[in-house]
Amino acid sequence: MGKALDGVRVLDFTHVQSGPTCTQLLAWFGADVIKVERPGEGDITRSQLRDIPGADSLYFTMLNSNKRSITLDTKNPEGRAVLEELIKICDVMVENFAPGVLDRMGLTWERIQSINPRIIVASVKGFGPGPFEDCKVYENVAQCTGGSASTTGFRDGLPLVTGSQIGDSGTGLHLALGIVTALYQRTLTGKGQKVLCAMQDSVLNLCRVKLRDQQRLERGPLQEYSQFGEGIPFGDTVPRAGNDSGGGQPGRILRCKGWETDPNAYIYFITQAQVWDKVCTVIGKEEWLTDPDYAKPVNRLPKLNHIFATIEEWTMTKTKFEVMDILNEVDIPCGPILSMKEIAADESLYATGTLVNVDHPVRGAYITVGNPIKLSDNDVAVERSPLLGEHTDEILSQVLNLGEERIAQIKASGATGAPVRQAAE
Ligand code: CAO
């Protein structure tokens, strides 16, 4: 088997989550990813949310698999010179610094182009050009400004952020697609280009169904929202819809056996129109099959609260897995609410490589999420994240082909860490 991005070399100048998500994916497709980190502390996430003293955090290790790490102080002239050597031999450079940081380093697009006109420079920023373009942005800022928070939660509660890192990891995914597309275009043009993903844009892209609803709202109430059935008028903006489905098939989270003590004893139940007769039969409401008030999906919309309450009387008599088994047998779409504990113990996810156990020399074994994108001709095993500067020597000597004397000079300057002094003669 091959590696999809074999031969592609990535200069990974990223930190925290959005950029590292992108470069980790590229590494899992077989690219050689060289992570440039500041000497001493490296990527700030190495020490954030630490669970084992002195060991790289899970935050870091789960976002930086299959990469090599070189420490370089890019504000040191020798460090900057090494960075430019790397730019010369890399196909892609990925960065997610605050706006203006690269320019302040002297690495304008023009400068990078003059060093390597074939390089693809991919950036994550919080916002695209506009009033907020200079702002620093973290995950939840993007969730709030991309439309997710205003449409998540319950109508009468606060806006909510979601557990899915759609701002950071979501943007990293978008960026990875931009990079491979630009690599493909380069095979035709021979030229590099800039790839920019703004976190606000990525969140909005993932929230497009809510912008759909904003425009539908101008033509009348959103009938699939619970509040329609409850007779609560709509305002002029998309409301929070609780657990209502975002699509055309109504759905809800329903209690299952054990819900009184287990916070995750719930199932997502979808009343897909095509299997409405099966829903009625399974829950023992055969009379709904012939009742004209229930026969057509449009007739059911004002009664969704009653319908789901009736279905819930049935789901509460079974565990979420029993409900899943019974419904799947008759093709009724549903999904148990799985806790992270249940997911971490799911052998089938390990069998596909979606979850992987990795060993680490300092922290020991840990579980990480492997490549969620499966290619039939891409064989890359998930490897642990690098220690800070673990590959500095290897990269200077084997990737940049620098001689011993030059390497000693670079090290003496402090560019790769605390200066290494030459012994007095
Ligand atoms: N050697 C020397 N200096 C280095 C260096 C290195 N190897 N790597 C980075 N630096 C310096 C930069 O030159 C810059 O210094 P100046 O401000 O003096 O020019 C600084 O470190 C990095 O700055 P930053 O502003 O990017 O970092 P921050 O921690 O203040 O902000 C963040 C973090 C994420 C808010 C900001 O980077 C950002 O908005 N990024 C874009 C959006 C993004 O990706 N956000 C998601 C992050 S994941 O939640």
Q: How far is CA 200 from CA 36, 146, 153, 169, 343, in A?
A: 26, 5, 19, 13, 29
pLDDT score for 421:
55
pLDDT score for 423:
45
Q: How far is CA 383 from CA 36, 248, 362, in A?
A: 18, 41, 14
- Residue 305, φ and ψ in degrees, nearest 5: -60, -45
Distance of CA 54 to the CA centre of its chain: 27
Tell me if 247 is assigned to a ligand binding site. Answer: yes
Tell me the pLDDT band of 258, cut-offs 50, 70 and 90.
very high
Structure-token pair, residue 419: 């200066």
Tell me if 30 is assigned to a ligand binding site. Answer: no
Q: At what angle do helices 18-28 and 168-189 cross, to 10 degrees?
A: 50
Strands 355-358 and 120-125: unpaired
Tell me the pLDDT band of 138, cut-offs 50, 70 and 90.
very high
Pocket test for ligand 1, best of 72, 136, 141 (most atoms within 8 A of CB): 136
Q: Where in the chain is the domain with CATH 3.30.1540.10?
A: 242-332
pLDDT score for 316:
98
pLDDT (tens digit, 9 = 90+) per residue, 170-207?
Answer: 999 999 999 999 999 999 999 999 999 999 999 999 99
Residues with Cβ within 8 Å of 275's Cβ and at least 6 positions away in sequence, in order, are 330, 331, 332, 333
| Residues with a CB atom less than 6 Å from ligand 1 | 16-19, 36, 38, 72-75, 96-98, 101, 104-105, 124-126, 136-139, 168
Share of the chain above pLDDT 90, in %: 94
Q: How far is CA 362 from CA 3, 187, 387, 420, in A?
A: 29, 41, 9, 25
What is the residue-wise DSSP string for 120-132? EEEEEESS-SSTT
What is the architecture of the domain spanning 9-206+344-412?
A: 3-Layer(aba) Sandwich (3.40)
Alpha-helical segments (H) within 269-425: 276-282, 287-290, 292-295, 297-300, 304-315, 320-329, 340-344, 347-351, 392-394, 404-412
Q: Strand pairing partners for 196?
A: 123
Residue type present at position 345: A
Name the one residue in this structure whose structure tokens are 């960065």: 95
Tell me the pLDDT band of 113, cut-offs 50, 70 and 90.
very high
| Residue 12 is a catalytic residue | no
Share of the chain above pLDDT 70, in %: 99
Question: Count of residues for the chain?
Answer: 425
Tell me the pLDDT band of 169, cut-offs 50, 70 and 90.
very high
Q: Strand pairing partners for 367?
A: 357
Tell me the pLDDT band of 420, cut-offs 50, 70 and 90.
low
C-beta separation of 169 from 18 below 8 A: yes
Tell me if 57 is assigned to a ligand binding site. Answer: no
C-beta separation of 258 from 265 below 8 A: yes
- To which CATH superfamily is domain 242-332 assigned? formyl-coa transferase, domain 3 (3.30.1540.10)
Tell me, in angstroms, the distance from the centre of ligand 1 to residue 409's CA: 27
Tell me, in angstroms, the distance from the centre of ligand 1 to residue 395's CA: 23
d(CA 206, CA 148): 8
pLDDT (tens digit, 9 = 90+) per residue, 23-70?
Answer: 999 999 999 999 999 999 999 999 999 999 999 999 999 999 999 999
Q: Where in the chain is the domain with CATH 3.40.50.10540?
A: 9-206+344-412
pLDDT score for 150:
98
d(CA 301, CA 228): 8
Candidate list 12, 168, 213, 244, residue with the active-site label: 168
Q: For residue 191, is it left (φ>0), alpha (ψ between -120 and 50) or beta?
A: beta
- Residue 59, φ and ψ in degrees, nearest 5: -55, -45
* Mean pLDDT for the stretch of residues 350-370: 98
Q: Chain-wide mean pLDDT for the chain?
A: 96
Q: What is the pTM of this model?
A: 0.96
Instruction: List the residue whose alpha carbon is closest to atom 9 of ligand 1.
Output: 38
Tell me the pLDDT band of 418, cut-offs 50, 70 and 90.
confident
Tell me the pLDDT band of 129, cut-offs 50, 70 and 90.
very high
Closest CA to 37 of 49, 53, 55, 19: 19
pLDDT score for 246:
82
Reduced to 3 states, what is the DSSP secondary structure of residue 37?
Answer: strand
* Mean pLDDT for the stretch of residues 401-405: 98
Q: At what angle do helices 168-189 and 199-206 cross, to 10 degrees?
A: 100
Angle 38-40-46 (CA atoms, 0-180°, nearest 5)?
Answer: 80
Tell me the pLDDT band of 425, cut-offs 50, 70 and 90.
very low
* Mean pLDDT for the stretch of residues 312-326: 98
pLDDT score for 424:
43
Residues with Cβ within 8 Å of 378's Cβ and at least 6 positions away in sequence, in order, are 1, 2, 3, 4, 28, 29, 30
Q: How far is CA 162 from CA 152, 165, 197, 201, 292, in A?
A: 8, 7, 20, 17, 39
C-beta separation of 39 from 362 below 8 A: no
pLDDT score for 131:
96
User: Does 89 have pLDDT greater than 50?
Assistant: yes
* Mean pLDDT for the stretch of residues 104-118: 96
C-beta separation of 323 from 336 below 8 A: yes
pLDDT score for 119:
98
Structure-token pair, residue 342: 């249940």
Burial class (CB in 10 A: 0-12, 13-18, 19+), 188: exposed
User: Does 241 have pLDDT greater than 60?
Assistant: yes
d(CA 333, CA 9): 43
Structure-token pair, residue 343: 């997911």
d(CA 134, CA 130): 9
* Mean pLDDT for the stretch of residues 105-124: 97
